[in-house]
Amino acid sequence: MIDARGYSCPMPVVMVQKAVKGKEPNKLEVLVDNQCSVENVTRYARNSGYQVEVSDHEGDYKLVLRK
């Protein structure tokens, strides 16, 4: 699980890149707190071959990335 709440872009994407690089997990959960991060992490994940599910949790967003 990556908790990227409180970070503005591009940091959430950089955090996901570091988690994915080399390991390529089948599932990764990411927490963010703004729509811009949702869009950017989703774009990066899809370009990296992941399917993305987004859910809203009281102002925060949970993204589940799956291969």
* Residue 22 pLDDT: 81
Task: Work out whether the CA dihedral 19, 25, 30, 35 comes out positive or negative.
Answer: positive
CATH code for the domain defined by 2-66: 3.30.110.40
- Strands 51-57 and 27-32, by their bridges, are unpaired
Could you read off the pLDDT of 11-60 as tens digits, one per residue?
A: 999 999 999 998 889 999 999 999 999 999 999 999 999 999 999 988 89
Answer yes or no: pTM beyond 0.85.
yes
How far is Cα 52 from Cα 37, in angstroms, rounded to an integer?
Answer: 13
Cα–Cα dist 8/51, whole Å: 23
Cβ-contact 38, 66 below 8 angstroms: no
Confidence (pLDDT) at 15: 97
Q: Where are the domains of the chain?
A: 2-66
Supply the pLDDT for residue 43. Answer: 98
CA 49 to chain centre: 13
